[in-house]
Chains A and B, each alone.
Chain A
Amino acid sequence: MSVAEKYIGAKQPSKPETIYMLRLADNALILGQRLSEMCGHGPEMELDMAMTNMSLDLIGQAKLLFEHILTLEDLAPNIDVLAMTRPLEQYTNCLLVAQPNVDFAHIMLRQYLFSTMQKLQYEALLESNDITLAAIAEKSLKEIAYHIRFAKSWVLRLGDGTEESRSRMVDALDCLWRFTGEMFAQDAGLMAMVKTGLTANFTLTYKNWRLEITHILSEAGDLSPPDTARMIMGGHQGRHDENLGHILTDMQFMQLSYPGLKW
């Protein structure tokens, strides 16, 4: 086996539980990668640190999940190969996390919509029959609480701020809202895991989530979720828009150019 064969690509998961966990890991990895693009580009020093701190938390979560996946199914020789070298259609993150860093309003709204969902998604793992997964969720939830608090405060401030900041938040909502349905979709992958007891069905809390978000948006300069003709989905099945492609080009460059490289 050549070095490239060994260190590029990973086997596709075949077990329902690793398929589901890969989705969680990819969500964290891709949003972490997106946020890391802001390193050195924040509107001010403290916000730069905040975004990179959240990036670090998310990549930390992804690392634990990838490690756990490899103990359940032999998909790759190590987590770097699994995380970094798959072809685009094998990433199963939701579409929202790959959306670009258009401006600070987009970044904060994306974070708020994702983290509030992720809180429910991880709370549903606390009673999981997989105790390692439950422990990862327990640990991550403490950090997610910070992400929500931070992003929410900026959604409020920008929405309720100047004409300019409000118009940017309106634009962000128009762009991002259509990706929220996917996060709460009751697809076969999730429902199979609900049946085995790996996770509770967090999508049942969708109504409450929507009420909470609608409330915060109304506080944020009287914003409201836009009328969306249809929600855009497909990320969990590996059908992505061009944004993930741009992320992967950057993220995978080193691993694909120098297979098996180490720091």
Chain B
Amino acid sequence: MVNKEHLLDLMAEIMDPEIPAINIVELGIVRGIEDSTPPNIVITPTYVGCPATDMIGEMIREKLDAAGYDDVGIKNQLSPAWTTEWITEPAHEKLRVYGIDPPGAHTPTCPRCGSANTKLISEFGSTPCKAFHACKDCLEPFDRFKCH
């Protein structure tokens, strides 16, 4: 019998390869454990073309194998589509500390100086999930998680 909590704990040890400040459970990529025989870790991509998706699959496989769960599978699920609402509250703070303005209804806010006096530089940032902004007070550029 597979211990689901243990599996989820293991998943929480895997950091997102592009944003190593948060793990793939906090990011909402791990949707849960499917009660099949053998069980499956159910994951969903953030963006369809995100190259990190394949890498995350490989990291999960490695983690499962190392823990002796070589019979546990990985299942990709597209619907419901990933949304930034699945990023957990504690992860928002971690993103801010890491220098990324977390998603949300708030005015874009500089993660460094806290100013809301910012401008959008590009709808498309360094990864598919982020947009690029700049702070008009401290003048630093920053990434913002797109609401998606």
B122→A50 contact, CB < 8 A: yes
Given contacts A46-B122, A46-B124, contact A138 B48 (CB under 8 A): no
Given contacts A50-B122, A135-B79, A142-B148, contact A57 B49 (CB under 8 A): yes
Kindly supply a per-residue 1/0 record for chain A positions 38-56, scoring 1 wherever the CB is within 8 Å of any chain B CB and 0 otherwise. Answer: 0000000011011001111
**Bound CA–CA A143/B82 (angstroms):** 11
Q: Taking the complex as formed, is A139 at the interface, i.e. its CB lies under 8 A from any CB of chain B?
A: yes
B124→A49 contact, CB < 8 A: yes
**Bound CA–CA A56/B48 (angstroms):** 8
Kindly supply a per-residue 1/0 record for chain B positions 97-128, scoring 1 wherever the CB is within 8 Å of any chain A CB and 0 otherwise. Answer: 00000000000000000000000011111101
**Bound CA–CA A140/B123 (angstroms):** 17
Closest A residue by C-beta to B48: A60
Q: For B78, what are the chain A residues with a Cβ–Cβ distance below 8 Å? A: 64, 132, 135-136, 138-139
A139→B48 contact, CB < 8 A: yes
Q: For A139, what are the chain B residues with a Cβ–Cβ distance below 8 Å? A: 45, 48, 78-79, 81-82
**Range, interface on chain B:** 20 to 34
Q: Among A61, A132, A138, A139, which residue has the most Cβ atoms of chain B within 10 A?
A: A139
B79→A49 contact, CB < 8 A: no
Q: Which of B48-78 contact A (CB under 8 A)?
A: 48-51, 78
Closest B residue by C-beta to A59: B49
Q: Which of the residues B50, B81, B123 comes within 8 Å of A50, measured between beta carbons?
A: B123
**How many residue pairs at the A-B interface have CB separations less than 8 Å?**
69
Q: For A134, what are the chain B residues with a Cβ–Cβ distance below 8 Å? A: 79
Q: Does more than half of chain B's interface fall in helix, strand or loop, or is it mixed?
A: loop
**Bound CA–CA A132/B125 (angstroms):** 29
A46→B121 contact, CB < 8 A: yes
Q: For B80, what are the chain A residues with a Cβ–Cβ distance below 8 Å? A: 138
Q: Which of A59-76 contact B (CB under 8 A)?
A: 59-61, 63-64
Q: Taking the complex as formed, is A24 at the interface, i.e. its CB lies under 8 A from any CB of chain B?
A: no
Kindly supply a per-residue 1/0 record for chain B positions 119-148, scoring 1 wherever the CB is within 8 Å of any chain A CB and 0 otherwise. Answer: 001111110100010000000000000101
**Bound CA–CA A91/B113 (angstroms):** 52
Q: Taking the complex as formed, is A215 at the interface, i.e. its CB lies under 8 A from any CB of chain B?
A: no
Q: Does more than half of chain A's interface fall in helix, strand or loop, or is it mixed?
A: helix
Q: Which of the residues A50, A63, A131 comes within 8 Å of B48, measured between beta carbons?
A: A63
Shortest C-beta distance, A45 to chain B (Å), equals 8
Given contacts A136-B78, A138-B79, A139-B78, contact A49 B47 (CB under 8 A): no
**Bound CA–CA A43/B121 (angstroms):** 14
Q: Which of the residues B49, B79, B123, B125 comes within 8 Å of A63, measured between beta carbons?
A: B49
Shortest C-beta distance, A151 to chain B (Å), equals 10
Kindly supply a per-residue 1/0 record for chain A positions 128-151, scoring 1 wherever the CB is within 8 Å of any chain B CB and 0 otherwise. Answer: 000110111011101100100110
Q: For A59, what are the chain B residues with a Cβ–Cβ distance below 8 Å? A: 49
Q: Taking the complex as formed, is A58 at the interface, i.e. its CB lies under 8 A from any CB of chain B?
A: yes
Q: For A135, what are the chain B residues with a Cβ–Cβ distance below 8 Å? A: 78-79, 81
A140→B48 contact, CB < 8 A: yes
Can you offer 27 A-B residue contacts whose CB atoms are under 8 A? A46-B122, A46-B132, A49-B126, A49-B132, A50-B122, A50-B123, A56-B128, A58-B49, A59-B49, A60-B47, A60-B50, A63-B48, A131-B79, A134-B79, A135-B78, A135-B81, A136-B48, A138-B78, A139-B45, A139-B48, A139-B79, A140-B48, A142-B81, A143-B48, A143-B128, A146-B146, A149-B123
Q: Known contacts A53-B124, A146-B123; can you find 12 more A-B pairs with CB under 8 A?
A: A50-B122, A56-B50, A59-B49, A60-B48, A63-B48, A135-B79, A135-B81, A139-B81, A142-B148, A143-B48, A149-B123, A150-B124
